[in-house]
A and B are shown apart, each in its own frame.
Chain A
Amino acid sequence: MSIENIPFLGKLDSGVPAGPLEKKWDSYKANMKLVNPANKRKYSVIVVGTGLAGGAAAASLAELGYNVKSFCTHDSARRAHSIAAQGGINAAKSYPNDGDSAWRLFYDTIKGGDYRAREANVYRLAQNSTSIIDQCVAQGVPFAREYSGELANRSFGGAQVSRTFYARGQTGQQLLLGAYSALMKEVDKGKVTLYPYREMLDVVMVDGKARGIITRNLSTGEIERHAADAVVLATGGYGRVYFLSTNAMNSNVTAIWRAHKRGALFGNPCYVQIHPTCIPVSGNHQAKLTLMSESLRNDGRVWVPKKKEDCKKDPSLIPEEDRDYYLERKYPSFGNLAPRDISSRAAKECCDEGRGVGESGLAVYLDFRDAIKRDGEPAIRERYGNLFDMYHEITNENPYKTPMRIYPAVHYTMGGLWVDYSLQTTLPGLFAAGEANFSDHGANRLGASALMQGLSDGYFVLPFTVTNYLGTHATELLKKVDTQHPAFESAEKEVRAGIQKILEVGKKGSRTPTEIFRDLGKVVWEKIGMARSEKGLNEAIAEIKKLQNDFDTNLKLTGDDKLNKNLETAGRVADFLELAHLMAQDALDRKESCGGHFRLESQTPDGEAQRNDDEYAYVAAWEYKGRGKDSIVHKEPLVYENVKLSVRSYK
Chain B
Amino acid sequence: MSASNSKTMNVRLKIWRQEGPSAPGAFEEYSLSGILVDMSFLEMLDTLNEKLIHEGKRPVEFESDCREGICGTCSLMVQGQAHGPVRGATTCQLYMRSFQDGELITIEPWRAKAFPILRDLITDRRAFDRIQMAGGYTGAKTGPHADANAILIPKDIADRAMDAAACIGCGACVAACPNASASLFTSAKVTQFALLPQGHADRKRRVIRMVDQMDKEGFGSCSNLQECEAACPKKISIQNIAIMKQEYLKAAISADFRAGLGSADGGA
Contacts and interface: CB of A to CB of B under 8 A. Distances in A.
Contacts of A75: 63, 73, 124-126
Contacts of A249: 64-67
Contacts of A358: 1
B122 interface: yes
A78 B128 CA distance: 10
Interface string A138-153: 1110111111111100
Contact of A74 (B46, B73, B151, B161): B73
A590 interface: no
Contacts of B40: 287, 394
Interface string B32-68: 0000101110110011011011101111010111111
Interface in A61-110: 63, 74-79, 81, 83-84, 93, 95
Interface stretch (A181-189, A371-379, A617-625): A181-189
B138 A140 contact: yes
A248 B73 CA distance: 11
A170 interface: yes
Contact of B66 (A81, A131, A148): A81
A77 B140 CA distance: 19
Contacts of B56: 558
Interface stretch (A298-306, A409-417, A562-570, A580-588): A562-570
Contact of A76 (B4, B36, B144, B169): B169
A176 B124 CA distance: 21
Q: Which of the listed residues A167, A249, A359, A562 has the most CB atoms from chain B within 10 Å of its own CB?
A: A249
Contacts of A143: 148, 158
Interface stretch (B129-137, B223-231, B241-249, B254-262): B129-137
A565 B72 contact: no
Interface stretch (B77-85, B100-108, B175-183, B190-198): B190-198
Given A83-B66, A140-B199, A556 B129 contact: no
A182 to B, nearest CB: 6
A562 B20 contact: yes
Interface residues of A, number: 88
Contact of B38 (A173, A396, A512, A558): A396
B145 A74 contact: no
A75 B42 CA distance: 19
Interface stretch (A278-286, A495-503, A544-552): A278-286
Contacts of A515: 50
Kindly state the interface size class of chain B when it binds its partner: 35 or more
Nearest to A149: B152
A41 interface: no
B166 interface: yes
Contacts of A137: 145, 148, 151, 198
A39 interface: no
A134 B148 CA distance: 5
Contact of A135 (B58, B97, B142): B142
A562 B119 contact: yes
Given A393-B93, A563-B122, A140 B196 contact: yes
B69 interface: yes
B24 interface: no
A463 interface: yes
B154 A149 contact: yes
B25 to A, nearest CB: 14
B165 interface: yes
Interface in B138-180: 138-149, 151-155, 158-159, 161-162, 165-166, 168-169
A168 interface: yes
A646 B152 CA distance: 42
B5 interface: yes
A170 B166 contact: yes
B124 A219 contact: yes
Q: Which of the listed residues A136, A144, A170, A558 has the most CB atoms from chain B within 10 Å of its own CB?
A: A558
Contacts of A148: 152
B54 A512 contact: yes
A430 interface: no
B26 interface: no
Q: Which of the listed residues B1, B2, B138, B151 has the most CB atoms from chain A within 10 Å of its own CB?
A: B1
B184 interface: no
B76 interface: no
Nearest to B122: A563
Contacts of A144: 158, 162
Contact of B141 (A63, A95, A149): A63
B95 interface: yes
B126 A145 contact: no
A76 B129 contact: yes
Contact of B132 (A184, A250, A558, A563): A184
27 contacts: A63-B142, A75-B63, A78-B169, A79-B169, A81-B71, A84-B70, A135-B143, A137-B198, A138-B138, A138-B145, A140-B137, A140-B192, A140-B198, A142-B158, A143-B158, A146-B155, A174-B162, A188-B133, A248-B65, A248-B67, A283-B39, A390-B93, A393-B86, A393-B95, A396-B4, A557-B53, A558-B52
Given A140-B138, A140-B193, A359-B5, 13 more contacts: A60-B142, A74-B71, A74-B73, A77-B129, A135-B145, A136-B148, A140-B196, A140-B199, A181-B138, A288-B67, A290-B67, A557-B53, A566-B49
Interface of B: 1-5, 20, 36, 38-40, 42-43, 46-47, 49-50, 52-54, 56-59, 61, 63-73, 86, 88-89, 93, 95, 97, 118-119, 122, 124-126, 128-129, 132-134, 136-149, 151-155, 158-159, 161-162, 165-166, 168-169, 192-193, 196, 198-199
